[in-house]
Amino acid sequence: MPKTLDGQLTMEKTPSYFVTNEAPKRIHSMAKDIKLIVVVRNPVTRAISDYTQTLSKKPEIPTFEVLAFKNRTLGLIDASWSAIRIGIYALHLENWLQYFPLSQILFVSGERLIVDPAGEMAKVQDFLGLKRVVTEKHFYFNKTKGFPCLKKPEDSSAPRCLGKSKGRTHPRIDPDVIHRLRKFYKPFNMMFYQMTGQDFRWEQEEGGK
């Protein structure tokens, strides 16, 4: 990590930390007062997005339906498949709470980050003890991508949008598979809401579809 001067914050982003068993202990031994930010989204959508990303690099992989089940007839979900396992957030959080208090962790809603990026960024800035510099005027919604882009209101430079790997069209997944995945994740989601004290409303979101 680079040296941090007074009045500066050093940030580093690695999504795999949250699901790596050794990470909390190592990070705690390096800087126990560190502030942690975790972006989470509906684990069903997250699993399909994960698969879509892999599919773009390896078009020969089996279908999502084949990979998601240990036994399709019995409806047994294969929780050892990383695309599924990563979305069991309660399991990973349990590991982190052995080393860090909840007050040092901010959970950002991936869904709200798309529909209200300024609102979620306000929470991030408050959590880090920063002035609310990034506001509504710094975002515009890119309809092609389906994501907000970041812009600098003070100059005319091109807005910064997410790269090619984001916003890919998801393959069509059998609705029965999605239903079974929702049932699989529901108890873990409830546990996660309880642990964080936040309701991410993933069940309501699904019920409305």
C-alpha count within 13 angstroms, C-beta hemisphere, residue 68: 26
Q: Where are the beta strands (DSSP E) in 51-183?
A: 69-71, 76-77, 105-109, 139-142, 147-150
**169 appears as a binding residue in the annotation:** yes
* Residues with pLDDT less than 70, the chain: 145, 153-156, 163-168, 205-209
Domain for residue 114, yes or no? yes
Q: How many domains, the chain?
A: 1
Q: Please give the pLDDT value at position 130.
A: 94
Beta bridge partner(s), residue 76: 71
Domain for residue 201, yes or no? no
pLDDT single digits (tens) 117-151 = 999 999 999 999 999 999 998 898 877 767 888 88
Q: What is the pTM of this model?
A: 0.88
**168 appears as a binding residue in the annotation:** yes
CB 51 within 8 A of CB 83: yes
**170 appears as a binding residue in the annotation:** yes
Q: What CATH number corresponds to the domain at position 43? A: 3.40.50.300
**144 appears as a binding residue in the annotation:** no
Domain for residue 158, yes or no? no
Q: Please give the pLDDT value at position 207.
A: 52
49: region left, alpha or beta (phi > 0 left; psi from -120 to 50 alpha):
alpha
**156 appears as a binding residue in the annotation:** no
**167 appears as a binding residue in the annotation:** yes
Domain that holds residue 103: 17-130+175-196
